[in-house]
Amino acid sequence: MDEKKMGPYRLETTIGSGGMGTVYRGIDERTGDKAAIKVLPSNMSHNEGLRERFQREIETLLQLKHPNIVRLFGFGEEDGELFYAMELVDGRSLAEVIVKTPIKNWRTVVRYSLEIASGLRQAHDMGIVHRDIKPANVLITRGDKVKILDFGIARLFGATGVTMAGGIIGTADYMAPEQAFGEGVTPKADLYSLGALMYAMLARQPPFRGNSVTEILDKLRYNEPIPIDRLVETLPNDLSQLITQLLDKNPENRVPTARALCRRLEALLELPEETDFDLNLADHSTRAPSPPGDEYQLKDGDEDAPTMDPQARKLAEAPTMQLSEEEVASQLKSKGNYSGTEAPATVITQRGKKDAPQTRFTTVAEQRKKTSEEESRREKSTAWINYIQIGGLLVALGVVVAVMLVAPQKPSADQMYHSIEYSANEGNLADVADQMDDFLERFPEDPRSEYVAELKEELNLRRQENRYRLAATLGRGSQGLHPVEQIYLDAMKANELNPELARDKLQGLILAYGPADTQQGDIARCLVLAERRLKQLNASLSSRSKQQTIAIRERLEFANRIAEDEPQKAERIYRGVIQLLEGEPWGANLLNDAKRRLSKMMSN
C-alpha cells in the first residue's frame, strides 16, 4: 500500500476491516512504538450514525484503564478521516482459539472468564455497558492474557438500545433476551453474553444457533439452551450451575454484578486439582453454520496480513443485528417511539463547520489534562457568583410560590400521559404510580385511561409477585394469606426442586378458583400470576422432556447396535431406561420399546 499517515503514525499493513472502518498496524514516527490504528474513512464520516458510534467508542475508551481492556493512545482527524490509536495486541481472537486450538481444560475457561469479568467490572463501575461481548471481541495475547475490545456500541446505563436510525445493534448469538427485544439494557446483559461466551468456549458452539437472525431470536425468546453439562462431560457442578444462571432469560435471576461473578469464578479456581479432567464433548453436540460478522479482528503484530480462519468466523462471529425501524416495531413489546441518543460532545467535532480543523491528533494524556483544566476553570469562574446565584434562586423561588398561590396549575392529560408512557417504555412503572392514580382520577373519560389502568394493574401484579418471591426466598410462613395465595406460594417453593409438582399445584389452583376474572383484588392478581407461571412451566417442562427424549432414544439406539456383541452392557442400558421412565407419561413409547427389547433379549 502507498505510505499513509494518521497523525504521528505511519500506517504499514491492514489488520482487518468491517462495518466501522479499517484497522491498520502503525508506527509512531516520534518514538517507534507500534499501535493499532482504527480509521473511519471520509466517505463513512458523513454518516452521522457511524460518526456518532465511532466518537462514542473513543469517549468510552478514554474513561477505561484496565489490564484486560485494550488501551487507547490517542485520537484525531487526518484529511477528513477520523481515527484513533490503540494498543496493538500480539495474539489471536478467542474465536480463532475456540476453532483452531479448542480449550481442553475447564480451568482455562474459568480463568479467561475471570479476566473478562474483571474488565467488565471496571466498565460497569464507570456506568458503561459493553453490549457486544462475543469471541471476536476478546483477544488472547501470546502471554495467555485477555483483552476486551470494540466498545463501539457501548452505552451508559439507562440509555436507549436503539441506534443508527432506529436499529438495534448487537450480535444475535451472544445477545441477552432483554437487549434483543428492546426491553432495556443493564450490566446484566453483559453478564448474559459472558455466560454465552463461557458456553461457547466449553461446547464450541453458542447456546442458540440458526441460519438467520430471525431463527436465533425465536429460539432466544422461547427455547432453553441444552444444559452445558449435557454437551460437555467432566465439568464441576458449580461451573455448570453458574453458566445456567448467567443464561437465565430473566435478568433478576442472573448473578447480580460483575464483582459478584468475579468472586464466583475465583472460588471455582480454588477447587481441588482432582477435579481437573480434559473436556469431552458429548456425541450429540452439533454446530450449525452462521454468516460471518462484520467486525474487524486484531492480528499478530508480526504477520503481514490478516489470515482469519473462516471457520472461526462461522462459529463465533454471529450475525450482527441492525434491524430497520419496521423490524424493530415488530420485535419490541413497548408502545412508545424511540430515537437514538444524542451524540457525545467534546472528543471529535461535527462535520460541516467551515472553520473546523481537518488535521489534528490528541493523546489520551493531553485530553485528560485538558478536561481537568477545564473543570478547574469552571470551578473558579463560578465560585465568585455563588452568592448572586443563591440570591437569584431565592427571588425566583418567591416568584414561583406567588404564582402557585395565585394561579395553581396541574399538568395536562397529554403531559401526564407522555410521562407515564415514557416510564412504561423504560420499565420504570413504579416511578409514575402516583401519576397513574392522578390520571385515572382526573381524566376517567380520556380514551387513554384504559391503557393507563392496564399499566397500573401490571404494576400491582409486579409488586404482588415480588412479595410472593420474597416470602418464598426467606422461607416465611403463609400466615395471614388467603388459601389461594398459600397454594401459589407452595408452588413457587416446590418449583426449585420439583417443577412437575409445582405445575400440578398451579393447574389445580386455577381449576378450583379460576378463572382470574371471576375473582377480585389480590386473589384475582394471584390467579393471573399463577396462569403466567403455569405457562412458563409448561414451556420449560416441554423443552426438557424433548431434550430427555432425544438423549434416551440415542441410548436405546446405541444399546440396539451393541446388543449382539455386548449383551450385558445393552441389558444394563435397557434396565436403566425402564427405571428412569416408570411413571413418566411423556416417555411411555420409549419405556415400552425398552421393555420389549429387554424381554426379547432375555428370551434368547
Q: Is 63 exposed, middle or buried (0-12, 13-18, 19+ CB in 10 A)?
A: middle
Residue given cell 423490524 in the structure block: 327
Model confidence pLDDT, tens digit, residues 508-562: 988 988 888 888 888 888 898 888 888 888 888 887 788 888 889 999 999 999 9
pLDDT of residue 595 exceeding 70: yes
User: Residues 288-315: what's their mean pLDDT?
Assistant: 38
pLDDT tens readout for residues 391-401: 677 777 877 67
Mean pLDDT to the nearest integer, 425-447? 85
How far apart are alpha carbons 59 and 38 in whole angstroms?
A: 14
Beta bridge partners, 215, equal none
pTM, entire model: 0.53
Average pLDDT, whole number, for the chain? 78
Rounded Cα–Cα distance for residues 469 and 463 (Å): 10
CA diameter of the chain: 104
Give the list of residues 6+ apart from residue 293 with CB closer than 8 angstroms, or none.
Answer: 18, 134, 136, 171, 313, 317, 318, 319, 320
Residue 212 is predicted with a pLDDT of 84
What are the tens digits of pLDDT across the range 477-505? Answer: 555 678 888 888 888 888 778 888 888 88
- Give the pLDDT score at 346: 34
- State the pLDDT at residue 162: 36
Residues acting as catalytic residues: 132
DSSP state string for 427-486 = T-GGGGHHHHHHHHHH-TTSTTHHHHHHHHHHHHHHHHHHHHHHHHHHT---TT--HHHH
Of the candidates 171, 242, 251, the one whose C-alpha atom is nearest the C-alpha of residue 209 is 171
Who wins on pLDDT, 587 or 303? 587
Tell me: pLDDT of 583 over 70: yes
The DSSP code for 319 is P
> What is the structure's pLDDT at 308?
36
Please tell me the least confidently modeled range out of 17-21, 99-103, 485-489.
17-21
What's the pLDDT band for 383 if we cut at 50, 70, 90? low
pLDDT for 183: 80
Region of poorest pLDDT, from 149-158, 233-242, 429-438:
149-158
Give me the pLDDT at residue 150, please. Answer: 83
Condensed to tens digits (0 to 9), the pLDDT of residues 153-168 reads 666 554 443 333 334 4
Number of helices (H), then strands (E), belonging to the chain: the values are 22, 17
b/e map 490-511, b = 16+ CB within 10 Å: bbbbbbeeebeebbebbeebbe
Tell me how crowded residue 100 is: count the other CB atoms within 10 A of its CB. Answer: 11
The predicted model gives 303-309 an average pLDDT of: 35
Instruction: Summarize the confidence of residues 16-44 as an average pLDDT.
Output: 86
Return the ∠ at Cα 116 (arms to 18 and 71), rounded to 5°: 60
Q: What is the pLDDT of residue 473?
A: 67
Q: What is the distance between the alpha carbons of residues 143 and 98, in angstroms, rounded to a whole number?
A: 17
State which amino acid sits at residue 532.
R
pLDDT tens for residues 311-347?
Answer: 444 444 443 343 333 343 344 333 333 333 333 333 4
Nearest to 50 by CA among 292, 343, 298: 343
Task: Of 111-120, 280-289, 567-576, give the lowest mean pLDDT range.
Answer: 280-289
What is the rounded CA–CA span in Å between residue 121 and residue 264?
Answer: 13
In the sheet that holds 146-148, the strands lie side by side as 91-93, 138-141, 146-148
Position with higher pLDDT, 433 vs 327: 433
- The alpha carbon of residue 261 and the mean position of all alpha carbons in its chain are separated, in whole angstroms, by 15
Q: 457-472, pLDDT tens digit by residue?
A: 888 877 877 777 777 6
Overall average pLDDT of the 211-221 stretch = 88
Rounded CA separation 274/491 (Å): 39
Q: Is the pLDDT of residue 196 over 80?
A: yes
pLDDT above 70 coverage of the chain, percent: 75
pLDDT over 90 at 421, yes or no: no
CATH superfamily of 91-292+309-330: Transferase(Phosphotransferase) domain 1 (1.10.510.10)
Among 63-67, 343-347, 472-476, the least confident range:
343-347
4-88+358-371 topology per CATH: Phosphorylase Kinase; domain 1 (3.30.200)
